Structure 1
Amino acid sequence: MTAHLSVRSYTFPADSHAHHFHQLVFPLHSRLDIKLEDFEGRLFPGSCCLYKAGQVHYFAPEPGMRYLVMDADFLPLNLLDIKQAIIRLPHSIMSFCYFAEQQLLSKHSPTLEVEMAQWLLRLLELHQLESAKDVRIEKAITVMSQDLSQSLTLEQLASIACLSLSQFKTLFKKETNQTPGQYLSSLRMTRAYAMLSNTDIPINIIAESVGYKDSSAFSQRFHQRFQCLPSQIRKSQ
């Protein structure tokens, strides 16, 4: 085995094991709880989990939900140098992950699994990847991600992070290079793209689920982000 990328779903609620190869798990549509010897956390779309070879890990997926999983004998040095298990991903890599998911679901091919893995490894190598953020900001991001239909105030997010409002805004921008509003918008658009690509849920319902009561406003923001309309994504499936 060199590197293989596949789409998997799990029927068990939790498991603990280790393997002789490295593994990257990308939650694309739901959360994933993980626990290692010195780390415990929860992943949402926009991040991935790195299990290094021989590392015993516990994970609790959402049964029946799909995850993108890479098994690899080797990893780029920038990944091996990362200390924490949770890695924040640029939006460009997440877009590729959703694309890879669609290709792998449409055609079962060992060759395609290898080629997609090589492309994803190359993208991961080219980007300056970072471990999960400051635990206080990570806590706020986790709450933001859990229900994208809601818009928490900055004061509420600062309270969740146990920071003053000014401290929260400064630290959030430092850790993510975005304001909380910009970050929330990115989360919403990424989740909407995934739902459009992988479900038959009506567009207006998707819009509401990511915080837009006005479908036209949702379509406008989606077009600004992806240079295409939600209806075009749906028609391409």
Structure 2
Amino acid sequence: MPIQNSLSIRSYNLVKKGHSHPYHQLVLPVMGSINIEVAGFSGKVLPGECVVVKAEQTHYFTSEPKARFVVADLNCLPENIAQAKMNVFSVSQPLLHYLHFIDEQLKYQINQTIETLMVETFCCLLSEQPVTKRLDRRIQNVLEYIQTHLAEPLNNELLSCVACLSQTQFKKLFKEQTGLTVTQYLTQVRMNKAQALLLHTDYPIQMVAEVVGYQDHAAFSRRFFKYSGLTPSQFAR
């Protein structure tokens, strides 16, 4: 009998447990990590990652008691997840931010209507999730740093220090992991955020430029036009 799709916050312990269930389950750490064995994978899953346990797959797991996870129990997996060949993948920034919202919401409120909408939103974000290989943790740290310091000057020298690598090692590993150079990635992240701010806020263009790391309004406008084919003013209309 199909279950009702649901989201919950769970914690486990250091006692190794194993079971299977007739529905799919996604485990997404929001604090701490989980050690899990499932379908040929055996290892640690960290915040910023997701492990997929398909229906009837026996899995074994342990974690520190203080660790916390968003767990999604689903009747069906989105096509992109169902067809993926990997059990563990890196989570996109929009989905990662939403997990923290889920974590806070479920701790403080019981409301079936809100919970149903949260599951629907989660599944929508999940369906848009690129199922890519797990990132090297050093590069994952850099991507998280970029997201939280986007308004600041960012360059190879600084980011290689965040990754604890030489600049040469960092540039090589970054390209291998993301498929983009650091400059290409920064431009993509900054322009995507600028587009979102122009569409969904009433920020003046100068403020949008500063939020995404451009102090020079003209330089921002040139880069935005090159990226989108429109000026910031045209895009915001």
Alpha-carbon distance between aligned partners in 2 of 1:58 and 1:224, rounded to the nearest angstrom:
44
> What corresponds to 2:192 in structure 1?
none
Alpha-carbon distance between aligned partners in 2 of 1:38 and 1:142, rounded to the nearest angstrom:
24
2:156 corresponds to 1:154: no
Over 3 Å counting, the alpha-carbon distance change for 1:113 and 1:142 in structure 2 is same
Aligned residues: 168
Alpha-carbon distance between aligned partners in 1 of 2:33 and 2:140, rounded to the nearest angstrom:
10
Q: TM-score scaled by structure 1? A: 0.60
Q: Secondary structure at the match of 1:154?
A: coil
Calculate the aligned-residue CA RMSD, in Å: 3.1
Alpha-carbon distance between aligned partners in 2 of 1:33 and 1:122, rounded to the nearest angstrom:
27
Name which of 17, 22, 25 aligns with 2:24.
22
Distance apart, 1:39 and its partner CA = 1.5
Contact 2:39/2:87 (<8 A) preserved:
no
2:50 corresponds to 1:39: no
Q: Secondary structure at the match of 1:112?
A: helix
Q: TM-score scaled by structure 2? A: 0.60
Q: Secondary structure at the match of 1:131?
A: coil
| Unaligned segments of structure 2, at least 5 residues | 143-160, 187-209, 213-237
2:203 corresponds to 1:175: no
Contact 1:79/1:129 (<8 A) preserved:
yes
| Unaligned segments of structure 1, at least 5 residues | 145-149, 156-164, 184-222, 226-237
2:62 corresponds to 1:56: no
Contact 1:44/1:142 (<8 A) preserved:
no
Per-residue deviation, residues 5-26 of structure 1 (Å, max 9, x unmatched): 1111224532111111000111
Query: Runs in 1 of length 4+ with deviation above 6 angstroms?
Result: none
Taking only the aligned residue pairs, the percentage that are identical comes to 30
Q: Secondary structure at the match of 1:27?
A: strand
